[in-house]
Structure 1
Amino acid sequence: MVLNNLNYPLDFKFKITTLASDFNITDKNGNYVAYVRQKMFKLKEDVIVFNDESKSKELFRIKANQWIDFNASYSLTEIATGRNFGRMARKGMRSIWKASYDILDANDQPKFKIQEDNAWVRFFDGMVGEIPLVGAFTGYFLNPSYTVTGLDGKEYFKLKKMPSFFGRRFQLDRLIDIDDEEESLVILSLLMMTLLERARG
């Protein structure tokens, strides 16, 4: 199975009624694309992608390869077949200041990069977010964005945090058409990155 024939932009909307980091993914028409749940109380990140909020069908699994996440990578697997789509790898020291990830295919070959567009947005979000009352409004005016580029340097996707309380909404746009399997690889990587970056503030 691949995530294809999607009507962009896609909306990622986190639920604030659960302790877990759950979020819905819908297309521009409001139709479900997936429901993402991160398992709680795990030393390693363990994320399941379901068909929708009913959680009646598990589509994909994303698992960290180590419990210390400094240089962690995350395997992307289709549940029905056990097929490995590839993995997303954090870029270690470079990710401290500015989010940076590599996306690798099933043969462990680099295919894409995810880069945070402006590190200063994160910096000021972290500072202002600690100020009582004022910090609650940072989700309305400090919103980072991320760009997915290919090895050819072309920009393929753009993910933006949208104005909202508690950083609840993100929007994903595709800039260039790509192969269905590569599209699924990128989207699954961005799901995991969104969870990681949202947790970092």
Structure 2
Amino acid sequence: MALNNLNYPLDFKFKISTLASDFNITDKNGNYVAYVRQKMFKLKEDVIVFNDESKSKELFRIQANKWIDFNSSYSLNDILQNKNFGRLARKGMRSIWKASYDILDANDQSKFKIQEDNAWVRFFDGVVGEIPIIGMFTGYFLNPTYSVTGVDGKVYFKLKKMPSFFGRRFQLDRIIDIDDEDESLVILSLLMMVLLERARG
């Protein structure tokens, strides 16, 4: 199973009716791509990617390699083919400035990097977000964007948070076509990153 032949842009839309951090991924025509569920009350991150909201078929599993967040990495696995795509790694402690992650393949070779484009958006979101009432509306005017860059220095994907209450919508666009397996590796990495970044505020 691979996340390929997709009609971009893809929408990541979080459900606000559940306690868990669940979200739908749909394509530009509104067709289901996947349904993502983050297991609650786990010492280590455990995320399941289903075919759709019925949760009738597990497609992928993403699991943290450590209990604590420092230097954590997240294994990206295809359930149906019993195959590991690679992992998403965050080096060192969280930055108050820019989010930065490395995407490594199954051979632990660096393939891509996810980098937040504008550090000031994060900074002002953190400051304004602490202001009573006003902070509730930061999701409408402080929206970060992230670039996925290959080892060749080219930007392959752009992910942006869309204006929405509670920061519940993200949109992913592919800039350059890539190999099918790499595309699955990047999309799985991005959906895990969205969960991590959204949890930190």
Shorter chain as normaliser: what TM range? over 0.9
CA distance in 2, matches of 1:94, 1:54: 34
Q: TM-score, normalised by structure 1?
A: 0.98
Deviations 1:73-130 (A, max 9, x none): 0000011121000000002147443110000001111000000011111111111111
CA distance in 1, matches of 2:52, 2:164: 23
Unaligned runs of 5+ in 2: none
Query: Quick one: which amino acid aligns to residue 154 of structure 2?
Result: K
CA distance in 1, matches of 2:33, 2:166: 23
Point out 4+ residue stretches in structure 1 off by more than 6 angstroms. none
CA distance in 2, matches of 1:72, 1:53: 28
Q: Could you tell me whether the CA contact under 8 Å between 2:11 and 2:28 is conserved in 1?
A: yes
Give percent identity, aligned residues only. Answer: 88
Query: Quick one: which amino acid aligns to residue 119 of structure 1?
Result: A
Residue aligned with 1:187, SS: helix
Equivalence for 1:197:
197
Unaligned runs of 5+ in 1: none
Higher deviation after alignment, 187-196 or 118-127 = 118-127
Residue aligned with 2:198, SS: helix
Matched, 1:33 2:19: no
Equivalence for 1:8:
8
Higher deviation after alignment, 86-95 or 138-147 = 86-95
Equivalence for 1:186:
186
Pairwise mapping of residues 22-61 of structure 1 onto structure 2 (< 5 A)?
Answer: 22-61=22-61
Equivalence for 1:80:
80
Equivalence for 2:151:
151
Please report the RMSD computed on the Cα atoms of aligned residues, expressed in angstroms: 0.9
Higher deviation after alignment, 175-184 or 88-97 = 88-97
CA distance in 1, matches of 2:6, 2:27: 7
CA distance in 2, matches of 1:96, 1:106: 30
Equivalence for 2:98:
98
CA distance in 1, matches of 2:94, 2:23: 27
Query: Quick one: which amino acid aligns to residue 163 of structure 1?
Result: P
Task: Figure out how many residues of one structure are paired with residues of the other and give that number.
Answer: 201
CA distance in 2, matches of 1:132, 1:86: 41
Equivalence for 2:114:
114
Deviations 1:158-201 (A, max 9, x none): 00000000000000000000000000000000000000000111
Query: Quick one: which amino acid aligns to residue 115 of structure 2?
Result: Q
Query: Quick one: which amino acid aligns to residue 134 of structure 1?
Result: I
Equivalence for 2:62:
62
CA distance in 2, matches of 1:81, 1:95: 36
CA distance in 2, matches of 1:97, 1:123: 6
> Cα distance, 1:135 vs. partner?
1.0
Deviations 1:44-89 (A, max 9, x none): 1000000000000000000000011121000000111210000000
CA distance in 2, matches of 1:171, 1:37: 18
CA distance in 1, matches of 2:175, 2:60: 24
Residue aligned with 1:97, SS: coil
Query: Quick one: which amino acid aligns to residue 152 of structure 1?
Result: D
